[in-house]
Amino acid sequence: MSIAGKFIEKLDRNIARYACVKSGDLVFEQPVVSFTFDDCARTAITVGGEMLKDKGVSGTFYLCGGLTNGFENELPCQTEEDLAYLVESGHELASHLYNHKRCADLTGDQLALEIGLSKNYINSIIGTNEQLSFSYPFGSVNLRAKRMVSEQFLTGRGINPGLNVGRLDLSCLKAYALYEDQISAQKIAFLIDMAVKKKGWLIFYTHDVQTLPSPYGVTPKTLEYAADYALQENCEIRSVAEVMNSFR
């Protein structure tokens, strides 16, 4: 690719981070917190999903069908039994494409194929054809991907930090990383307090949940602290789809 072509691609990705493709004005009567898990590491399900279930709340699990019974970052991913458990427990299954590819690296036809495979796989598990939620693998996004996600999914979720309040970019919701090496109890409390003050929607994202997490994961202790503090501060803990469906 030429230098000019690389520059245009980089500019497209940078513009896409902030260009609102699918907007929505959501007014919350009380603050909302969502816990989301990318790639569906097994511990996200067996530890994180179980923990949220025990608290009577739901999370959102962005999965790649192609990783079923496979590995990502040397961590085992979901089995079909795990996915059935999530559905039975009231959690949300959502799309992270089928083969965990960067959206910005795909042509329009390739992205359409990935989306179709992912939607068909997830719908075969949940047994419906309702609109699904989506998160961008690796946070990789460009304008074409945002347009396609806005047409094909209920929402898209990115990795740009921020609180979702007022007019939202539903094709690229803001979220904060819940990574053990980047988070603290003080920061978690600060973010939840901000959501309470502004009556906004705070989304956390992470991957594995284990005592010695990967650089992209969190410990059970930290996840539990975040959930407990949110409940203590009278936040609703909902999956992404639950939040959106409450406005439909």
pLDDT digits (tens, 9 = 90+) for 211-236: 999 999 999 999 999 999 999 999 99
Q: Are 156 and 136 in contact (CB under 8 A)?
A: yes
Burial 204-218 (b: 16+ CB within 10 A, else e): bbbbbbbeebbebbb
Does the structure show a pLDDT above 70 at 210? Answer: yes
Compute the average pLDDT of residues 156-169.
95
pLDDT beyond 50 at 12: no
- Sort strands 71-72 and 60-63 into parallel, antiparallel or unpaired: unpaired
Is 35 strand, coil or helix?
strand
Whether the per-residue pLDDT at 114 is higher than 90: the answer is: yes
**90 is written with which tokens?**
């009231």
* 119 CB-side CA count, 13 A: 16
- Enter the pTM of the model: 0.92
pLDDT at 247: 82
Spatial distance between the Cα atoms of 156 and 169, rounded to a whole number of angstroms: 9
Over residues 42-64, the mean pLDDT reads 98
Q: What is the CATH number of domain 26-245?
A: 3.20.20.370
27 touches 154 (CB < 8 A): no
Report which of residues 128 and 48 the model is more confident about.
48
Residue 48 vs residue 9, higher pLDDT = 48
